[in-house]
Amino acid sequence: MAVQVVVQSASARQTKAWGRRLGTLLKGGEIIGLHGELGAGKTCFVKGLARGLGLSEEKILSPTFTMIQEHASRLPLYHIDLYRLEAATLDDLGLREYLFSQGVAAVEWFERLQTEAALDYLSVRIAYAGASRRLLEFSAAPGRHQAIVERLRSAAWRA
């Protein structure tokens, strides 16, 4: 059974803060699947994630035109954007080497990734909840990412 945490963000600053919280919990080898409409805040969230990994958020740009951006931090961060693709498989663009590495793979438009087997990943769904408000839904099926969602649940109680 999947574990789920839903929090509300009232600003881009708060969305980044949740990304930062997640980044501080990561140990390497995680796959973060980002879902949400265009402009919902996926890249904004990744900026916070980068801060949690020790990177400056100014280094994080939407990778829409480059598809994959690599960043060196306490853990390598692979920021992948599948927006321009109808669908992608693990072997397209060498995605396998990024997703199954010792780094952190943050994949925007994750739903466009087609795999032959279920992937263990942490899903971050960002949805509009008003002009500047967003709902952030963190979920993971049983596996290594489930413990991270549990720790985020504790952070949600304190926030």
Question: Looking at residue 64, what is its pLDDT?
Answer: 61
Question: Looking at residue 91, what is its pLDDT?
Answer: 76
| Mean predicted confidence (pLDDT) in 70-75 | 91
Answer whether residue 54 shows pLDDT above 80. yes
Give me the number of domains the chain comprises: 1
Over residues 88-146, the pLDDT tens digits come to 776 777 888 999 999 999 999 998 887 766 788 999 999 999 888 999 999 998 888 99
Q: How many helices (H) and strands (E) does the chain have?
A: 4, 9
Answer whether residue 42 shows pLDDT above 80. yes
* Dist CA 153 CA 40 (whole Å): 22
Question: Looking at residue 46, what is its pLDDT?
Answer: 96
Written as six digits, the tokens of 151 are: 């720790």
Give the CA distances from residue 50 to residues 37, 53, 71, 90, 120, in Å, rounded to whole numbers and listed in that order.
21, 5, 9, 23, 21
Average pLDDT, the chain: 89
Answer whether residue 63 shows pLDDT above 70. no
Provide the domain limits for residue 117.
3-158
Question: Looking at residue 129, what is its pLDDT?
Answer: 93
Question: Looking at residue 62, what is its pLDDT?
Answer: 74
- CATH number reported for the structural domain that contains residue 23 in this entry: 3.40.50.300
Least confident of 21-35, 61-75, 123-137: 61-75
Question: Looking at residue 12, what is its pLDDT?
Answer: 94
Single pTM value for the model: 0.91
Closest to 136 measured CA to CA, from 60, 34, 30: 34
> DSSP letter at 84?
T
Question: Looking at residue 157, what is its pLDDT?
Answer: 62
What is the percent of the chain with per-residue pLDDT over 90, rounded to a whole number?
59
